[in-house]
Amino acid sequence: MNYFLFWNGLFSLMLAMVMGIIAIYLGFNAFKRINHSIDEEFELRNNNIAVALVSGSFIISLGILMKSVIDPITQTVFNLVYQYQQLGIGFSDVFSTLGIVLLQFSVALILSLATLTLGTRLYMKLNRQTDEITEIANNNIAVAIVVAAITITLAIMLSSGMEIFLNAVVPAPLSLNENLPY
């Protein structure tokens, strides 16, 4: 068994889980603030399925968009550990790389929240026949399903652009990919 791969895989799994939980928690709280006309916590406790559908779709959409940054971050950390262990890179390289990783995560989270919110709100503005927020607050499941589908579809369409934009704004740290043990 390759213990280097095992421990790095375990660490990468834990890192992705922690970053995912942070993104979901912050995303859900930001979504609550964005939709200030609906008290999500109250509505969820009172079995408002429409609110649950829209909140859940926002979290799924956030996951789709954040995957485009969490995968490269775990790969960067893997490469960093290997380089530190095998090539003897310095602490300054380690800390600068970790700083870039945290910056990538933060920018991706903010950008994901902003684009999902803006895109969903823009659709709601364009569709003047229905007041989606009021309908969702009134537990209109049909409207919630449509808004959820719009949010998830928007995330799927934005995901590749998000990855390209993040690479342009916060470039990934240079890493030596040759001779990695996988």
More confident residue, 152 or 75: 152
pLDDT per position as a tens digit, 30-44: 777 777 788 888 888
pLDDT-based confidence at 104, cuts 50/70/90?
confident
Q: Which residues contact 33 (CB under 8 A, 6 or more apart)?
A: none
Average pLDDT (85-111) is 79
Amino acid at 56: G
Residue 94: half-sphere exposure toward Cβ, Cα within 13 Å:
11
CB of 101 closer than 8 Å to CB of 69: no
So what's the pLDDT on residue 177?
47
Structure tokens at 40: 């999500």
The CA distance from 127 to 125, in Å, is 5
SS (H, E, C) 69-109: HHHHHHHHHHHHHHHHHHHCCCHHHHHHHHHHHHHHHHHHH
Alpha helices in 35-48 (DSSP H): 40-45
So what's the pLDDT on residue 170?
64
The CA distance from 18 to 179, in Å, is 28
CA 121 from centre of chain: 19
The CA distance from 108 to 93, in Å, is 22
Structure tokens at 139: 């537990």
pLDDT-based confidence at 174, cuts 50/70/90?
low
Structure tokens at 10: 């375990």
Lowest mean pLDDT among 32-36, 48-52, 118-122, 159-163: 32-36
What's the predicted TM-score (pTM) here?
A: 0.78
Of 64, 65, 72, 66, the closest CA to residue 100 belongs to: 72
